[in-house]
Amino acid sequence: MCAASRHLSDRIADVWGERTPYGPGDPWPVRVDAFLDDSIGEEEVDAWFRSASILHSNGDAMDIGVKDGRIVGVRGRAVDRINHGRLDPKDLYGWQAVNSPDRLTRPLVREGSELVETDWDTAMDRIVSRSQDLLGEGPGGWGHFGFYTTGQLFLEEYYTLGVIGKAGIGTPHMDGNTRLCTATAAASLKASFGTDGQPGSYIDIDHCDALALFGHNVAETQTVLWMRMLDRRRGPEPPKMVVVDPRRTPVADEADVHLAVRPGTNQALMNGLLRELIVNGWYDADYVRDHTLGFDELRSVVEAYPPELVADICDVSVEDIQEAARILGTAQRLVSTVLQGFYQSNQATVAACMVNNLHLIRGMIGRPGAGIYQMNGQPTAQNTRETGADGDLPGLRNWENPDHIEELARLWNVDRQKIPHWAAPTHAMQIFRYAEQGSIKLLWVSATNPAVSLPELSRIRDILAKEGLFLVVQDLFLTETARLADVVLPAATWGEKLGTFTCVDRTVHISDKAVEPPGEARSDLDIFLDYARRMDFRNKDGAPLITWDDPESAFEAWKECTRGRPCDYTGITYERLRGGSGIQWPCNDRHPDGLERLYSDGVFNTDPDYCETFGHDMVTGAVHTEADYRAKAPAGRAFLHSAEYQPSPEVPNERYPFTLTTGRTVYQFHTRTKTGRAPQLQDAAPEVWAELHPLDAQALGVAEGDVLRITSPRGALKARARVCGTRQGTVFVPFHYGYWDKGEAAAPQEPERAANELTLTDWDPVSKQPLFKVAAVRVAKAANANGTYAPAPVIGASAPPDGSARTRGGPTAVASSRVEE
Amino acid sequence: MQLAHYLGLLLQAEHSLSDAFQEVGRAHAAEADVYFICQKLVRQCDEHAESLRPFVQRYSEQAPDEPERLHSELFQGSRSGGLGLLRDLQDLYLMTAECDICWVMMGQAAQGARDSELYEVATRCGVETSTQAAWLRTRMKQAAPQALVVS
């Protein structure tokens, strides 16, 4: 018999909602969160449709409520393994953007300096005719195409796009904005374990006795995962917590040890921590011997990083390093998570691999409570990676393995030479470089906004606006990027189309079509299928290359592509996904209900015929050859990678004495395309701000709310100062704020708002993820506050020490929460 | 004993390679990865040269004078554009090959001279030099189809 209590709360002010404490090994209590249009009660909803979140990467399952053909709200799914009913504020309020009056409803084409409305035939004809001209330019026609997609479409859409690119046009120039958020997660998983795929499950939070968060402000990026952690922290036998973050985030506040490292020094810290573990004997010598390769080299590299040296490099105390190492070294069930603080920083891939090393040398992998989450930044990023819509091949295949290419050629019935595999697929920054040089002449951007999200924006805007570059943008709104396009295609979104997607812990959810898209907007799948038809892509036998025509048939085709691969979907059907909870891959004859944890037997996916990569040099990114790889005889053992610490490519100097780091607030997602159109979310974080340490503020003569001018060698912006808990010498600016709600232009005459005006063009040598966290900047006061606070939320890392201002959603933000007891 | 001869040769080769990484990196600064990795490799080559100094001293009786920093015959000077990048990286590749084989010879000589310190240096620097070549090969393989077929 279940009793339930229902609470109403303003989830703008009460971001994480009511605590439901629980102990180790107990089930996480159910708490069903819901928010509906204020005039509508749950009983008045006509129908509920199955879905999950696409406003962050956690994969929280929900039902979409529809009344009179319109989305009217959302309710968390109690039975789902991911969230047990809970929802993030972005999900509670963000659905309103779907109903936004400024949605694109008709295709647009460029006529001179204007974008004018047109019909689908005209818009598609322009793209197809340009495509055919480029393909006709000779044997290198494929090289004029670039595709830049996202982490927010559905699996079926990515797979279709991947096949069009690889077997239709035959170009390697395809990547996602996942390059900015999750490339290092994939690279580190491949490097350590042989293939992509999280070893653990979120359920490991229920069992762990220690939590380590590396550059991961989970309280704001995946609030429901944080609720789960907090509920363990408030219950009996709470897990210890270690946090590495240069900012005083809510997670850092909660931690037992907070290492506020100097940006760019993660690798030095990790070397120091691993050294402490090894010196103190806190490792499992049998596991290391039987299941890993590279321990001697790791030991010899980290030996040179005693705590005193690391304290000096990272600017943290020796005692904190030792205490953190003691927690990591003595835990019996350790969960580690990694995100942008590592992925977007200096030495990203090797530092993320060091977290894998920590688990490998302790044998903390593949059993309850011993988990690693190399997190994703975006909701469907896992699928971009799996399907080959980014710089990988479909089914986690290895571009250097001729047998893998042959498998794809057979599956698609094309000549193997058609599939580009002469080098790693082209990463996003290189795609933009080819466009800058003019060899890429058609760039197709789907569901992402590079004019705000890529580094060094003045350069990116120049590329997008370049004469001779035919820019196609497929989106919901007229974004900053869409304004520069030659053709704009209006797309349907979440709730308006059917498909599936997979979250960090390999759980697949279905997302049903609840309502019709506005006007003539079409699903991204239909757009890609239409392009393939019009381009008349054929297989070897002259039949159409794309053999599917709707989401479910695309999913069935994808299942065949995954057969026998680590991400095996063959046991999943749409019908099963509508059953109750999402289902984890691999799901096949051997694991009919999915597999909770990979590598429980200590056998990793490193076999040369099975692995996804033959590996890279961590310093330069040089690829290792197949012969090198086979000579290591991995035989199912995992790799322990190691590297010396090297300073960031850009460090503070006399002219630019501060380090800029960029990131998110809990209330916004990406460039606010959706969250900026949900009033409760937008009002909570309406405008850019810059976080300064109190001592830095004092030295600059800056007080709360003063307008700062922040300058880097690339550009400048203006933002009001929030004096709070970032580390000394470090300035934080959220990257959400572009120019779409500042007027008509893609950017004003004097750009003044977007964090990426300041960031530098450089990327990790292995994952190719840009370095957003280590730009050198100068800070100066531009104007007095005149009594105005910074427009920064007081909840989250931007909380001021004195609690002087308030963030609340007010009466329009009242959501309900039902806890089952 | 002719060990000093090869020490001089290697020292000069590392200096030339360092200069060439510097020049190519700067000439192709718009290729951000090339620029930043060349910067790293400049430091690495300088460090290799520095590691050789004690041995130049040790074997100084036979050592030639401090070698001149001659512009390598392998390096034609930087070019521009996609094809220019490829040609410049190819020059660097050949220069790393010269260093690489010198380090192999140095390792052999060190074993013959029973000089374990030199052997350790030759092994470490030899591995790093092979990695430099592997990076150049990786980067060139990536760039070649676009530079040679598409552009």
Ordered structural domains, chain B, with CATH:
3-150 (1.20.1260.10)
b/e per residue A354-375 (b: at least 16 CB within 10 A): bbbbbbbbbbbbbebbbbbbbb
The pLDDT of residue A7 is 87
Instruction: Select from B128, B136, B138 the residue whose CB has the most chain A CBs within 10 Å, as the one to mutate to test that interface.
Output: B138
- Binding-site residues on chain B for chain A (CB distance < 8 A): 30-33, 36-37, 39-41, 81-82, 131-132, 134-135, 137-138, 141-142, 144-146, 149-151
Nearest CA in chain B to A136: B150
- Interface confidence (ipTM) of the complex: 0.94
Considering only CB atoms, which chain A residues are within 8 Å of B31? 433
B149/A422 CB distance under 8 A: no
The fold of the A108-181+380-562 domain, in CATH, is: Rossmann fold (3.40.50)
Nearest to A648, CA basis, from A757, A762, A735: A762
B131/A424 CB distance under 8 A: no
The pLDDT of residue A2 is 52
- What pairing do the DSSP bridges indicate for beta strands A583-584 and A507-511? antiparallel
Residue reference for tokens 């070897």: A540
Nearest CA in chain B to A143: B150
Residues with Cβ within 8 Å of A133's Cβ and at least 6 positions away in sequence, in order, are none
Give B70 to chain A, closest Cα distance, Å: 27
Mean of the per-residue pLDDT values of chain A: 96
B135/A622 CB distance under 8 A: yes
For A357-380, how does the pLDDT look when each residue is reduced to its tens digit (9 = 90+)? Answer: 999 999 999 999 999 999 998 999
CA atoms within 13 A on the CB side of A409: 17
**d(C-alpha A793, C-alpha A684), whole Å:** 6
The pLDDT of residue A1 is 40
Tokens at A769, concatenated: 């993820």
**d(C-alpha A755, C-alpha A732), whole Å:** 9
Residues with Cβ within 8 Å of A809's Cβ and at least 6 positions away in sequence, in order, are A10, A11, A12, A13, A93, A680, A683, A684
Considering only CB atoms, which chain B residues are within 8 Å of A174? none
Residue A47 has pLDDT above 70, yes or no: yes
DSSP H helical segments within A54-117, as ranges?
A: 89-94
The pLDDT of residue A807 is 73
Give the one of A423, A430, A617 whose C-beta lies nearest to B141's C-beta.
A423
Tokens at B151, concatenated: 């552009």
**d(C-alpha A162, C-alpha A383), whole Å:** 11
The residue-averaged pLDDT of A738-754 equals 78
The residue-averaged pLDDT of A403-424 equals 97
Residue A686 has pLDDT above 70, yes or no: yes
- Cα dist from B24 to B10, B19, B76, whole Å: 21, 9, 11
Give the one of A434, A619, A622 whose C-beta lies nearest to B40's C-beta.
A619
Tokens at B50, concatenated: 């520095």
The residue-averaged pLDDT of B53-74 equals 72
Confidence of residue B62 (pLDDT cuts 50, 70, 90): low
**d(C-alpha A708, C-alpha A792), whole Å:** 14
**d(C-alpha B30, C-alpha B33), whole Å:** 9
Residues with Cβ within 8 Å of B99's Cβ and at least 6 positions away in sequence, in order, are B10, B13, B14, B17, B45, B48, B129, B132
Residue B65 has pLDDT above 70, yes or no: no
Q: Which amino acid belongs to residue A132?
A: Q
Q: Taking a C-beta distance cutoff of 8 angstroms, is the pair A276, A307 a contact?
A: yes
Q: Hey, which residues does A763 pair with through a beta bridge?
A: A770
A622/B134 CB distance under 8 A: yes
Instruction: Select from A619, A644, A650, A763 the residue whose CB has the most chain B CBs within 10 Å, as the one to mutate to test that interface.
Output: A619
Residue B70 has pLDDT above 60, yes or no: no
Nearest to A597, CA basis, from A369, A265, A784: A369
Tokens at A48, concatenated: 């509920």
Q: ∠A537-A543-A546 over CA atoms, to 5°? A: 50
CATH number for the region A658-790 comes to: 2.40.40.20
Residue A412 has pLDDT above 80, yes or no: yes
Residues with Cβ within 8 Å of A253's Cβ and at least 6 positions away in sequence, in order, are none
Considering only CB atoms, which chain B residues are within 8 Å of A627? none
**d(C-alpha A176, C-alpha A150), whole Å:** 5
Residue reference for tokens 């991995």: A634
A810 dihedral zone (left: phi>0; alpha: psi -120 to 50; beta): left
- Binding-site residues on chain A for chain B (CB distance < 8 A): 139-140, 142-144, 422-424, 426, 429-430, 433-434, 436-437, 439, 617, 619-624, 646, 649, 761-763, 765
Q: What percentage of chain A reaches a pLDDT higher than 70?
A: 98
Give the one of B135, B138, B150 whose C-beta lies nearest to A140's C-beta.
B150
The pLDDT of residue B84 is 95
Instruction: Select from A144, A427, A437, A774 the residue whose CB has the most chain B CBs within 10 Å, as the one to mutate to test that interface.
Output: A437
User: CATH 3.40.50.740 in chain A, residues?
Assistant: 108-181+380-562
The residue-averaged pLDDT of B3-23 equals 93
Give one DSSP letter per residue of A604-666, joined into a string. Answer: -S--TTT-S---B-TTT-PBPPHHHHHHT--TTPEE---------SS---SSS-EEEEEE--T
A621/B142 CB distance under 8 A: no
Instruction: Select from A620, A768, A772 the residue whose CB has the most chain B CBs within 10 Å, as the one to mutate to test that interface.
Output: A620
Q: Taking a C-beta distance cutoff of 8 angstroms, is the pair A457, A754 a contact?
A: yes
The size of the A-B interface in CB pairs under 8 A is: 71
Considering only CB atoms, which chain A residues are within 8 Å of B145? 140, 143, 422-423
Confidence of residue B73 (pLDDT cuts 50, 70, 90): confident
A762/B36 CB distance under 8 A: yes
The pLDDT of residue A812 is 87
The residue-averaged pLDDT of B101-130 equals 97
**d(C-alpha A267, C-alpha A765), whole Å:** 14
Tokens at A198, concatenated: 């999280």
Q: Taking a C-beta distance cutoff of 8 angstroms, is the pair A175, A148 a contact?
A: yes
The residue-averaged pLDDT of B112-126 equals 97
A619/B134 CB distance under 8 A: no
For A496-518, how does the pLDDT look when each residue is reduced to its tens digit (9 = 90+)? Answer: 999 999 999 999 999 999 999 99
User: CATH 2.40.40.20 in chain A, residues?
Assistant: 658-790
Nearest to A722, CA basis, from A712, A713, A730, A732: A732
Handedness of CA A719, A764, A366, A61 (dihedral sign): positive
**d(C-alpha A764, C-alpha B148), whole Å:** 26
Q: What is the DSSP letter of A546?
A: -
A624/B134 CB distance under 8 A: yes
Q: Where are the beta strands (DSSP E) in A150-302?
A: 174-176, 210-214, 240-244, 257-259, 292-293
Q: Taking a C-beta distance cutoff of 8 angstroms, is the pair A478, A740 a contact?
A: yes
User: CATH 3.40.228.10 in chain A, residues?
Assistant: 183-375
The residue-averaged pLDDT of A407-419 equals 97
Q: Hey, which residues does A371 pair with through a beta bridge?
A: A335
| Sheet containing strand A70-76, strands side by side | A4-10, A814-820, A31-36, A70-76, A61-67, A47-52
Handedness of CA A41, A43, A49, A51 (dihedral sign): positive
Q: Where are the beta strands (DSSP E) in A507-617?
A: 507-511, 583-584
Give the one of B32, B137, B141 whose C-beta lies nearest to A422's C-beta.
B141
B32/A436 CB distance under 8 A: no
For A68-84, how does the pLDDT look when each residue is reduced to its tens digit (9 = 90+)? Answer: 999 999 999 999 999 99
Give A119 to chain B, closest Cα distance, Å: 33
Give the one of A143, A434, A621 whose C-beta lies nearest to B149's C-beta.
A143
Residue A254 exposed, middle or buried by CB count within 10 Å (0-12, 13-18, 19+): middle
Q: HEC states along B9-63?
A: HHHHHHHHHHHHHHHHHHHCCCCHHHHHHHHHHHHHHHHHHHHHHHHHHHCHHHC
In whole angstroms, what separates CA B32 from the centre of its chain? 20
The pLDDT of residue A800 is 84
Residue A429, number of CB atoms within 10 A of its CB: 21
* Helices and strands (H and E) in chain A: how many: 27, 29
- Cα dist from A382 to A33, A58, A133, whole Å: 26, 11, 34
**d(C-alpha A234, C-alpha A517), whole Å:** 43
Considering only CB atoms, which chain B residues are within 8 Å of A423? 138, 141-142, 145
**d(C-alpha A180, C-alpha A767), whole Å:** 10
Give A746 to chain B, closest Cα distance, Å: 24
Give the one of A143, A622, A765 whose C-beta lies nearest to B145's C-beta.
A143
**d(C-alpha A374, C-alpha A598), whole Å:** 14
Nearest CA in chain B to A648: B36
Q: Which SS3 state, helix, strand or coil, does residue A3 take?
A: coil
B135/A430 CB distance under 8 A: no
Give A430 to chain B, closest Cα distance, Å: 8
Give A190 to chain B, closest Cα distance, Å: 18
Considering only CB atoms, which chain A residues are within 8 Å of B149? 139-140, 143
Give B61 to chain A, closest Cα distance, Å: 35
The pLDDT of residue A325 is 98
**d(C-alpha B8, C-alpha A428), whole Å:** 44
Q: Taking a C-beta distance cutoff of 8 angstroms, is the pair B25, B45 a contact?
A: no
Residue A547, number of CB atoms within 10 A of its CB: 14
For A648-684, how does the pLDDT look when each residue is reduced to its tens digit (9 = 90+)? Answer: 999 999 999 999 999 999 999 999 999 999 999 999 9
For A789-816, how does the pLDDT look when each residue is reduced to its tens digit (9 = 90+)? Answer: 999 998 899 988 776 566 778 888 899 9
Considering only CB atoms, which chain A residues are within 8 Å of B39? 649
Confidence of residue A56 (pLDDT cuts 50, 70, 90): very high
For A378-405, how does the pLDDT look when each residue is reduced to its tens digit (9 = 90+)? Answer: 999 999 999 999 989 999 999 999 999 9
Confidence of residue B57 (pLDDT cuts 50, 70, 90): confident
Q: Taking a C-beta distance cutoff of 8 angstroms, is the pair A369, A209 a contact?
A: yes
CATH number for the region A183-375 comes to: 3.40.228.10
